[in-house]
Chain A
Amino acid sequence: MTLLQPGFFSSLPVQNALLIGAGAALLSGAAGVFTVLRGQSFAGHALADVSAAGGAMAYLLGISPLLGFFSLSVLGALALEALGTRRAAGRDLAAGIVLGAGMGITALLLYLDVTVKGSAGAAVTVMFGSLFATPPGLGRAVALGALAGLLGLGFIYRPLLLASLDGELAKADGVNTRLLGAVYLLLLALAVTLSAMAVGAILSTALLIGPAAAALRLARSPVAAMGLAALLGLGCAWGGVWLAYQSYGWTPGHVWPVSFFITALVLVVYAAASLARRA
């Protein structure tokens, strides 16, 4: 049995998929560490759901999906910031309301995509992604976005870590936690956008939360956790692309969704990390 079907690396769609998967996984893994530390998994998931409206809008207007996803997830981040209250319970509620409004708008836009534009596959691409069918130029844009996001994260890393672990202490230290929180939400919106390009809007949470939660169990310091999360995410993304490529041979002529493999691998990695910690 050959490990790789012929043409894996020479195929253009695969190269594009590997590049997008890498960009999305690296930034989401690193940013996700803070999402998990701050207990904002639901907020991250809500941003992803809202960004789906942007993906649907991009079809309708004929603009780049990257721009569509990003503009709406920034709007979602602003809405979360405006509604967000200090208490954790109130924050969950705000996330729920923002998410619900976003989903309603997504329903309308996807409907218009099909009826006005005739893009029958829009619902699948926006919600669950179709990594092998992305436009060729997108890989480079995602790589650039990931690089910018990682630089931004490196820039605010120290105060953000302090504010995430102990908000009161950070305030006493003269950190503007509100501004910091807003900048962080923007970076989160970027990470969610890139992940949505790879695995679709509602599955992007997998790349954001999974590798980060697993890494936080294994690593001893936050920096190590960020690095490990990025690597674990990369492994899951590339592993998923490879498995999906292989699946062409399992059910003749039918490729299983890449997103299924990536989310399944993420869950496996997380479960393995939990068990490893307990053992």
Chain B
Amino acid sequence: MFAPYMLDAWIVATLVALAAGCAGYFVVLRGAGFAAHALPMAAFPGAALAGLLGIARFYGLAVFALGGVAGLAWLKRAQRPDAATALVLVALLGLGALFLSLSGQYSNAVYALLFGQILGVGPADLPPAFAIGLGVPLALLACFRPLTYSAIAPDLAAARGLSGAGLDLLFLGLLAVTSAVALPIAGALLVFTLMVGPAAAARHLTRAPLPALGLSMALALVIAWAALALAYLTGLPSGFFVGTLSAAAYLAARLKR
């Protein structure tokens, strides 16, 4: 399990879990679950288009994820933001389906991009994983007070001169970057799971902000490691373990209270 060729997978899983666990705390706090689900989906056609054009996957992912942020910020002003978000989300997924279909590697690529291939990571995935694994938690911790403040008491934060829109944009941008890096590894659907499950469980166990944040990151880490180990031992897809363990953690935390 700890053979040299598995080392990259362990490192990347650790870094992605740190970023997702940390970002997830704010996703739950700010009630941004739908946005967190939508951004990896928005990035999905980017990976498909990159495959079609033959360019590096990361560029396609980053462009579409950041485009997704602009779209979400713009849709906030729509009459029914959640309906508009849902529509743009599925339209982008449909576009991704088209790109994949045109590139002629349909079924395998669909599965890999939606559910991830943690065992398929290589040395090339390390630099971006390090960038988000360390950068995203640091950036979020730097903005810890304003982000928490504007989520809990938006009126008060506005009165103290914090720009809600600017913070929101920054937060969504960090989510987008995390999604873009984590997508090939965890898959468009399961990046989100790793964000929401541990964070929601942590919020159920403790209300204090910093302990909840730490607990969320720790749970995400344990889930990612357990998923990787179980995937290695059983030969079953890692996404299955990430998804079910995250939900189990949340349920356990709920029952405990």
Contact = CB atoms under 8 A, between A and B. Distances in A.
Interface of A: 36, 39, 41-42, 44-45, 49, 88-89, 92-93, 95-108, 110-111, 114, 120-124, 127-128, 200, 202-203, 205-206, 209-210, 212-213, 216-217, 251, 254, 256-257, 259-260, 262-264, 266-267, 270, 274
Interface in B63-98: 78-80, 82-91, 93-95, 97-98
A141 B84 CA distance: 31
Nearest to B82: A41
A213 B110 contact: no
A206 B33 contact: no
Interface stretch (B11-19, B53-61, B174-182, B235-243): B235-243
A93 B37 contact: no
Contacts of A111: 111, 236-237, 240
A96 B32 CA distance: 10
A104 B107 contact: no
Contacts of B246: 97, 100-101, 104
Given A41-B82, A123-B114, A205-B86, A103 B34 contact: no
Interface in B193-239: 193, 196-197, 200, 236-237, 239
A256 B190 contact: no
B158 interface: no
Given A95-B33, A123-B107, A128-B97, A101 B86 contact: no
B203 to A, nearest CB: 9
A206 B240 contact: no
B87 A210 contact: yes
A200 B215 CA distance: 37
Contacts of A251: 102
B97 A93 contact: no
B193 A100 contact: yes
Contact of A257 (B80, B101, B244): B101
A107 B129 CA distance: 23
B192 A96 contact: yes
B86 A209 contact: yes
B85 A41 contact: yes
B80 A36 contact: yes
B28 A93 contact: yes
A39 B33 CA distance: 14
6 contacts: A44-B86, A93-B33, A97-B247, A100-B192, A205-B89, A217-B79
B246 to A, nearest CB: 5
Given A96-B196, A97-B200, A100-B247, 9 more contacts: A41-B80, A45-B37, A97-B196, A104-B190, A108-B237, A206-B94, A213-B83, A260-B95, A274-B78
Most A CB atoms within 10 A — which of B84, B190, B192, B247?
A: B247
A274 B37 CA distance: 24
A12 to B, nearest CB: 22
Contacts of B85: 41
A127 B94 CA distance: 10
Contacts of B237: 107-108, 111
A216 B34 CA distance: 22
A101 B243 contact: yes
Interface string B24-37: 00001001011011
| Among all A-B residue pairs, the 3 with the closest Cβ atoms | A104-B243, A263-B94, A100-B193
A122 B243 CA distance: 20
Contact of B91 (A92, A107, A217, A263): A263
A217 B236 CA distance: 47
Contact of A45 (B86, B111, B241): B86
A206 B95 CA distance: 13
A4 B111 CA distance: 35
B90 A205 contact: yes
Contact of A264 (B91, B106, B189): B91
Nearest to A207: B90
B87 A100 contact: no
A123 B111 CA distance: 6
Given A97-B250, A103-B239, A120 B34 contact: no
Nearest to A277: B79
B190 A206 contact: no
A263 B45 CA distance: 14
A91 to B, nearest CB: 9
A78 to B, nearest CB: 14
Nearest to A89: B31
B237 to A, nearest CB: 5
B115 interface: yes
A213 B80 contact: yes
A127 B114 contact: yes
